[in-house]
A = this chain, B = another copy of it.
Amino acid sequence: MADLKTNLLGFVMNSPVIGASGTVGYGVEYEELADFSKIGGISGKGLTLHGQYGNKGERLWETPSGLINSIGLQNPGVQHFIDVELNEMLELKQKYGTVAIANLGGHSEEEYVEGAALLSESAVDIVELNISCPNVKVGGMAYGVKAEAAGEVVRMVRAACKKPLMVKLSPQAENIPEMCKAVEAAGADAISLTNTFQACAIDLEKRKPVFNNIFAGLSGPAVRPIALRMVWQAVGAVNIPVVGLGGIATGRDALEFIMAGATAVQVGAANFANPRAMETIADEMAQWMDAHGVKTLEEIRGCARNAE
């Protein structure tokens, strides 16, 4: 049987399949639905220093093979997370070994730093710095576009945070390789990409944009080929691990990212079409590996780059 064990920043995960931030709550919500022993980790819903309600108006919109969301980082705040939700994540970890990842957003550099400092003192395993949320008007996104701005905020967070730091990139980055290099240079331990793609939908009957913010974030299988391209670029640009995501819905999808060089993968929107998507993806990866005589992911990680 193929061994899916995956070492991410020193944590040995049961599989490379991580629940993507914002789609799996803090893990417990899915506990009875999926076999967590096959899930590598959970990235919790994106946090901001202070809790917030998120966006008003429409929050979800279906598109061909995709979903646009405009949640707007609704969350209970970092301290509440540490007091309550983190403990649930750690219980899951104890039971199943799922690595606990805190996803941190922010509206200013100060907020990022303060939130990261709090998480630094918590029992969370990894901090995923979200510099890429397209759904908050101020902040988030700005850092996701310009490499210098991203490097700056990562440097400040790095200084404030002793936890392994994974920086989550936006597909709106002006230049993916430069962005990757900037966050690596600023002290990131890993990179995850991509967050959602800035998108728009118009409600014909109302003759106005579906979302109050006009733009919102597209994800799901529709974006997978673009996300895979960006992951390919990221792996080529840096020496730190790259966690790939964007539209992964099957074991074959996940293996494409692994063959492009990703250390692990995250699964977001696919959880909505199949609540057992994460488990199914891990199973399908193992099946493919078994059928092809591949024993560990090391044997195939990055193999598609050999011809490069």
Contacts and interface: CB of A to CB of B under 8 A. Distances in A.
Nearest to A175: B174
Interface residues of A, number: 43
Nearest to A231: B200
Given A174-B175, A200-B228, A223-B222, A209 B66 contact: no
A223 B247 CA distance: 13
B63 A256 contact: no
Interface of A: 63-66, 68, 174-175, 197-202, 204, 207-209, 214-215, 218, 220-226, 228-229, 232, 247, 252, 255-256, 259-260, 288, 300, 303-304, 306-308
A13 to B, nearest CB: 22
A288 B225 contact: no
Contact of A247 (B64, B204, B303): B64
A174 B175 CA distance: 7
A66 B225 contact: yes
Given A65-B222, A202-B259, A223-B226, 12 more contacts: A63-B225, A64-B221, A65-B221, A197-B225, A197-B226, A198-B226, A199-B228, A199-B229, A200-B260, A201-B256, A204-B259, A208-B303
A63 B226 CA distance: 11
A179 to B, nearest CB: 11
A301 to B, nearest CB: 11
B204 A255 contact: yes
B202 A307 contact: no
